Structure 1
Amino acid sequence: MRILFPLPSRDFDPTESSVPWRALVDAGHEVVFATPDGQPAAADPRIVTGRGFALWRPFLRAVPHARTVYTQMATGDAFQHPLTYDQLDPDAFDGVVLTGGHAPNMKPYLESSQVQALVAQHMIEDKPVGALCHGVLVVARARDPETGRSVLHGRKTTALTSIQERMAWAMTGLWLGSYYRTYTQTVQAEVTQALASADDFETGPFLVRREGPERRDYGFTLRDRNYLSARYYTDAYKFADDFVALVAEHAGD
């Protein structure tokens, strides 16, 4: 199966991208990357290095395994030779993963009409669509051309919760300002507006431990038919395995 990972030029989350990438490649699937200008992307440097997080560094920096996997992904041929958004053909891919990230340079990806159109077609055609964190905004903003509604209307989803987003902002806002507030409205608030009912948004359990390869089932994901969602990096390992399972189901159809 051929799976698309659209990325912004800068500032995506290294864990939420590389952990699913590794799982898909290990399962024998081809991953194709796309960026706005066709140049290799770069993850949020703060999450990779931990610089600027002060005493919160152990909680906000990517764990060692995720940093290693990100390096593997970033040095690979597919990552180094991405498509441009203008080159995206929805029929050329069997599924799509929409990674998260919160820093300002995420916006060209989150607001891309080309990426949203591809996601809308994949949702309508029942192809596997996976989204984490801010990546769920792309799905919420993708419109069904027949109804004009979000393709999430009538679906259940999770995403970065308002509590998680505000907590991260409160932890770092004194010296990083609005770094953890991509938009004035929280992700949960915008995504909920796209749903048929506010009850279709599920926040999942509050998790206190860090994620890692030794506890791959640790985290929270939510599946609705061909669509899988997760909240943030702590859910990444479970999301990766659940998305691989979703792709395998569709490969057998």
Structure 2
Amino acid sequence: MAGSTTPKVIFIMADYGHDPTETAVPFTAFKDAGLDISFATETGKQPECDKKMLEGMTQKLLGADASAISAYKAMLQHPSIRSPISWSSPDFTLEPYNLVFFPGGHEKGVRQVIDSPIIHSHVAKYFPQTLCSAAAGNVTGDGKKAVGAVCHGVMVLSSSVYPAGTSNAGKSVLHDVDTTALPATFEKVAYYGTKLWLGDYYKTYGAGSENVQDSVTKVLDDKSQFKNYVGMSPFVVEDKRYRYVSARFPGDAKLLSKKLVQLVKG
């Protein structure tokens, strides 16, 4: 973003359960780019990422790699994560921020954010402001707001609907947006491949629940808006009308971070 004002980014998180790679890799990129970083949890409690991704056999087989763990440990020393803002506070608002970021994670604790009507309300107010200045019919966006989400973080957006009295009342903020999220193929492989020893760990809403891809796709105006890629190369989706970038899983975190820095720094 042009000008002398330092762009501000806020991480919206649950108290526990987010993926450490999808949190720490973007944090490191934003810090290195000179962004002003804040964290927010429901009551201002310092967030903790999913420990299974950081230690033990689950880390060795499925979790964060050494560089991501190092980035996570460094992130924990930053003042912003030690003193988060409370997103349930009556005076909390997303308005000061140029970028709102939603990390992912499949641990059941992330439902605190995905299911929060408070966060849904804030997102419904903020997301229209990401509409690009040049977009036809734009009356809300100024080209200075942006949103990023990865994996289950996209579900926070898909679950956020416009309120009664608005032109898109009852529709998800993603209804007319191109997006990606955790592919059903990835989710099924992780779940069935670990079911015998981890149970429903890889199903955020429990065994038999809807997968992330279907949860997101059903709120879109057209199924083709969900961009599905099951290769291992980094992949992100940049919407053409909204300043919104989404990604699938930890392997996309570096590319996602790079694209978001480019957005907010112009």
Which structure's residues are more often helix, by fraction? 1
Report what 1:101 is aligned to: 105
Paired residue total: 235
Q: Of 93, 110, 120, which aligns to 1:116?
A: 120
Q: Of 208, 221, 236, which aligns to 2:236?
A: 221
Structure 2 residue 171 is matched with structure 1 residue 149: yes
Equivalent residue runs for 1:144-183 within 5 Å: 144-145=162-163, 146=166, 147=168, 148-183=170-205
Q: Of 25, 32, 52, which aligns to 2:31?
A: 25
Residues 59 and 175 of structure 1, relative CA distance in 2, 3 Å threshold: closer
Does structure 2 conserve the Cα–Cα contact (< 8 Å) formed by 1:96 and 1:119? Answer: no
3-state SS of 1:90 partner: coil
3-state SS of 1:91 partner: coil
Structure 2 residue 84 is matched with structure 1 residue 82: yes
State the AA in 1 paired with 2:227. E
Equivalent residue runs for 1:49-64 within 5 Å: 49=55, 51-53=56-58, 57-64=59-66
Q: CA deviation at 1:114?
A: 2.0
Report what 1:37 is aligned to: 43
Does structure 2 conserve the Cα–Cα contact (< 8 Å) formed by 1:34 and 1:83? Answer: yes
Q: What fraction of aligned residue pairs are identical, expressed as a percent?
A: 32
Q: CA deviation at 1:204?
A: 1.8
3-state SS of 1:11 partner: strand
State the AA in 2 paired with 1:149. K
3-state SS of 1:101 partner: coil
* Offset from partner CA, 1:170-200 (integer Å, 9 cap, x none): 1211011000001210010010011001111
3-state SS of 2:54 partner: helix
TM-score between both structures, scaled by the size of structure 2: 0.85
Report what 2:146 is aligned to: 128
Does structure 2 conserve the Cα–Cα contact (< 8 Å) formed by 1:159 and 1:187? Answer: yes
Does structure 1 conserve the Cα–Cα contact (< 8 Å) formed by 2:186 and 2:230? Answer: no
Residues in 2 aligned to 1:130 and 1:59: alpha-carbon distance in whole angstroms: 27
Report what 1:11 is aligned to: 17
Could you say which structure has the larger radius of gyration? 2
Q: CA deviation at 1:15?
A: 0.4
Does structure 2 conserve the Cα–Cα contact (< 8 Å) formed by 1:205 and 1:220? Answer: no
Residues in 2 aligned to 1:104 and 1:141: alpha-carbon distance in whole angstroms: 16
3-state SS of 1:172 partner: helix
- Note the residue ranges of structure 2 that are not aligned, 5 or more in a row: 1-6, 131-144
Residues in 1 aligned to 2:9 and 2:118: alpha-carbon distance in whole angstroms: 16
Structure 2 residue 60 is matched with structure 1 residue 48: no
Does structure 1 conserve the Cα–Cα contact (< 8 Å) formed by 2:8 and 2:97? Answer: yes
Residues in 2 aligned to 1:22 and 1:122: alpha-carbon distance in whole angstroms: 24
Residues in 2 aligned to 1:246 and 1:60: alpha-carbon distance in whole angstroms: 31
TM-score between both structures, scaled by the size of structure 1: 0.89
Query: Over the residues paired in the alignment, what is the CA RMSD in angstroms?
Result: 1.3
Show structure 1 runs of 4+ deviating over 3 A.
none
Q: CA deviation at 1:59?
A: 4.8
State the AA in 2 paired with 1:28. G
3-state SS of 1:121 partner: helix
- Note the residue ranges of structure 1 that are not aligned, 5 or more in a row: 208-217
